Amino acid sequence: MGTRPRLVALLLPLSLVACVDPPEAKSPAVPPVVLPEVVITKLDQAEVERRFHAATARLVREEYKAAALELDAVASMSPNGPWAAPAAFNAGVAYANLGDYKNAAARFRQSLEKAPDGPTAHTAMLRLARLEAYLEHWAELEAVCRKLLERKDLSVLERIEAQGGLSLALVSQDRVEEAFDVVVSARNEIEDRHLGEAGVPPLELAQVAFSLGEVRRKKSERIVFLPFPPDFGAKLEERCQGLLDAQSAYTDAMRSLDAHWSAMAGYRVGQLYQDLHRDVMKVPVPPSAKTIRQKQLWEGAMRLRYRILLEKGLKMMEHTVMLGERTGEASPWIARAKSAKKELETALATEKDALAKMPFTEDEMREALEDLKKKAPPKPNP
């Protein structure tokens, strides 16, 4: 065990004053001055090591809160010493197990700053990348994934995971074409190695699949219906195909059976339907609908035809919320799903109420829409 900090108290030599008779004075004697206590500490690395191992033992015993605090103290005792980086790394593990992902990411980042080529650097980068993705720190995720991909010691799955993280970071910053190139490279390796084809796919593949879904979603949502396109039918079909392609990728992310990625993917699928309904309902009344009755028929038929998008979106949000309740997943994606669920419930109720107030039956609206399409297919307003 290391030496205790030495305490040295400096006082004026009062014994010298006591040996001499004081002269007669016309004013009160000045009391002796006592200097403040000075603490001189010589850091003992053996003590730092002992405390590191004691704190790590608490981490192994799953005493995460106590371990995190003690490891933080160890890292600060000797910030440039040999135990600072491993202490920061282990503190990151402790905070991650507490669900404090922000502090966990900060500790992994700290460990990398202290020992960028140390024995914990490889794992610290992987853990930091996962946390940056969870925290939606896209620029930081891009930076750490690029550093990961420079390493020569990554396994196949680790490299694929880093590519998935980089693609997700890029597409989330609206750099869709860059993201597409990266995710295609990852997908090619997955297919060449036949990864995830049998059984539950490795978790590392979930991020790649989700990123592919994001790329497809953003590409498809470039197709809008206002101003009204002259080839509305073809554009709508293209948008719907993009929706189905994105949904397929999100479904692949769910196959890894991870609650977090499943929540993200579930929310996005519901959002696909919600956003398509929003955009398609912006389609203006065609010029061929001239009378009030025809315009009402068009409005009613549009509400009737595309109500199913709200129903599909709501069903997906309900499943996502139930997933959170069942698994304990409490990420922001579950909160988003809950909020979207309320919005969809309100929108669906509004549609049903509007249809109920129409002076037509649902069959009449369907027939009228078909009749309008035969007489004069939708054309853009002049």
306, 345, 226, 350: which is closest to 298 by C-alpha? 306
Phi, psi of 94 (to 5 degrees): -65, -45
Q: What one-character DSSP code corresponds to residue 302?
A: H
Tell whether 351 is covered by a domain. yes
Residue type, 123: T
- CA 280 to chain CA centroid, Å, is 29
* Co-location of 228 and 368 in the same domain: yes
User: Where does the pLDDT of residue 157 fall: very low under 50, low under 70, confident under 90, or very high at 90 and above?
Assistant: very high
* Co-location of 266 and 353 in the same domain: yes
- CA 51 to chain CA centroid, Å, is 34
10, 6, 9, 4: which is closest to 40 by C-alpha? 6
Tell whether 21 is covered by a domain. no
Alpha-carbon distance of 162 to 165, in angstroms, equals 5
Q: What percent of the chain has pLDDT over 70?
A: 85
User: Where does the pLDDT of residue 371 fall: very low under 50, low under 70, confident under 90, or very high at 90 and above?
Assistant: low
Alpha helices (runs of H) in 10-97, residue ranges in sequence order: 14-18, 45-60, 64-77, 84-97
pLDDT digits (tens, 9 = 90+) for 98-125: 999 999 999 999 999 999 999 999 999 9
pLDDT of 214 over the 70 cut: yes
Alpha-carbon distance of 277 to 376, in angstroms, equals 23
For residue 201 the two structure tokens come to: 């796919």
pLDDT of 212 over the 80 cut: yes
* Co-location of 228 and 363 in the same domain: yes
* Co-location of 300 and 348 in the same domain: yes
**Average of per-residue pLDDT values in the chain:** 88
Tell whether 333 is covered by a domain. yes
Alpha-carbon distance of 254 to 213, in angstroms, equals 11
CB distance 178 to 170 below 8 Å: yes
Alpha-carbon distance of 51 to 71, in angstroms, equals 8
* Co-location of 228 and 319 in the same domain: yes
Alpha-carbon distance of 349 to 344, in angstroms, equals 8
Alpha-carbon distance of 261 to 192, in angstroms, equals 24
pLDDT digits (tens, 9 = 90+) for 273-312: 999 999 999 999 888 888 898 888 888 989 998 999 999 9
Domain with residue 60: its CATH number is 1.25.40
* End-of-domain residue from the set 177, 205, 233: 205
For residue 7 the two structure tokens come to: 């305490």
* Co-location of 308 and 337 in the same domain: yes
Alpha-carbon distance of 323 to 189, in angstroms, equals 31
pLDDT digits (tens, 9 = 90+) for 119-137: 999 999 999 999 999 999 9
User: Where does the pLDDT of residue 16 fall: very low under 50, low under 70, confident under 90, or very high at 90 and above?
Assistant: very low
* H helix or E strand, kind and range, residue 8: strand 6-8
Tell whether 103 is covered by a domain. yes
* Co-location of 288 and 156 in the same domain: no
Say which range, 20-34, 200-214, 232-246, 283-297, has the weakest mean pLDDT. Answer: 20-34
Helix axes 259-280, 204-220, angle to 10 degrees: 10
Tell whether 7 is covered by a domain. no
**Is cis: bond before 229, omega within 30 of 0?**
no
* Co-location of 183 and 80 in the same domain: no
* Co-location of 228 and 200 in the same domain: no
User: Where does the pLDDT of residue 43 fall: very low under 50, low under 70, confident under 90, or very high at 90 and above?
Assistant: low
Q: Which domain holds residue 70?
A: 50-110
Alpha-carbon distance of 365 to 305, in angstroms, equals 10
User: Where does the pLDDT of residue 234 fall: very low under 50, low under 70, confident under 90, or very high at 90 and above?
Assistant: very high
**Is 3 strand, coil or helix?**
coil
**CB environment 175-185: b (16+ within 10 A), e (fewer):** ebebbbebbeb
